[in-house]
Amino acid sequence: MSSLDTALDNLQMLDYMNVAGAVAVFYDYVLTFSCEVDLIWGKSWSTMTILFIAARYLGLSLAIVLGNGIFYISQPVSIAMFYIIEWGRLIYIFVTEAIMILRVAVMFNDPERTTRILTFLYLLVVIEQFIIYFLWAGPHSGLILTVVTLRGHTTYTAQLGRGLMFPVYGAIPLDTFDLLILVLSLYRFVVHSIETRKMLGRTKVNIYMRLLFEHSVLYFVLNLAGKALADGTVRSPSMAYSALAITYNFTIPYVLFPRLVLAFKGHRWESNGLYMASAPPQHSSSHSPPAPCGSPRGEEYELTDVESPGPSRIPRST
């Protein structure tokens, strides 16, 4: 097989993987749409609702754009697709980080203060990321998109004006902030467990503290895996590896965040008198009914109302 045939086969495999990823995201959207109607559209709107809608439909749109394929497109369309995907993905990251800020902040006794501090720190990261992206894929970055034809198949190639490691190093502040989110959630979970054990003589963790901590760990691990795959494309010339990395990063994040939000809202709206505070629980209520949307079943955990001298009620916007 000639090198030209090999290149064409690799590009076709990448195209098929992109289509498969788009189908997976759309299928998950269909599966969870009824839950979205009940838990999002049927309730009063809040900051979390707006962030959920932005993440949900921006991710779906990006998956569809990528699923349109890389063949048989003109140069103007290829340029538009490239910028839509790159900048759309950056905005999606900003939205999902905002969701994680709100979710971690509610684990603290003073969520508003925690939110303000984390928001300020993240604004610095946002500014840095915008600068990096403008230098890497902006109008004056030296980026060149060229339309090529392989045996009657038209596609495009990108020639970057800067090195491939430039965005990798530029993402260090964002990675550090992700680690900070994980550390804060771990800290609050450990403190809550210790205080509960001191009062009751045994560890009894609030279900919602546990859910928020588990979701923070899941977010960090899957996000780290995606970044590792993406960074690995710099060193790996394999098209199969690149296809895997692209499919992962344009599928898992667009499925993960809507499901995390819906799972938490499903548990919260199936329960009554939900509280969150550092102080341990005084009494327990009955098990919650099964939560919708594929979230963990309510009977797997013991529902706990935390009633302390200064409880922090979970805001309906979470």
* Tens digits of residue pLDDT in 72-85: 566 677 777 878 88
The CA distance from 12 to 70, in Å, is 9
| Closest to 109 measured CA to CA, from 2, 184, 44, 53 | 184
6-20, 95-109, 124-138, 186-200: the lowest-pLDDT one: 6-20
Cα 265 from chain centre: 16
Look up residue 284 and give its amino acid.
Answer: S
Q: Are 122 and 96 in contact (CB under 8 A)?
A: no
| pLDDT value for 44 | 85
Measured torsion, CA atoms of residues 222, 251, 127, 136, in degrees rounded to the nearest 10: 110
More confident residue, 200 or 286: 200
| pLDDT value for 160 | 67
Whether the full predicted model's pTM is greater than 0.95, yes or no, is no
Q: Are 175 and 227 in contact (CB under 8 A)?
A: yes
Residue 161 confidence (pLDDT) above 70: no
Cα 147 from chain centre: 32
Residue range 227-238: mean pLDDT, rounded: 75
Residues 6+ apart with CB under 8 A from 280: 192, 195, 196, 197, 198, 199, 200, 204, 306, 308
| Closest to 73 measured CA to CA, from 131, 153, 133 | 153
Token pair listed for 315 = 């805001």
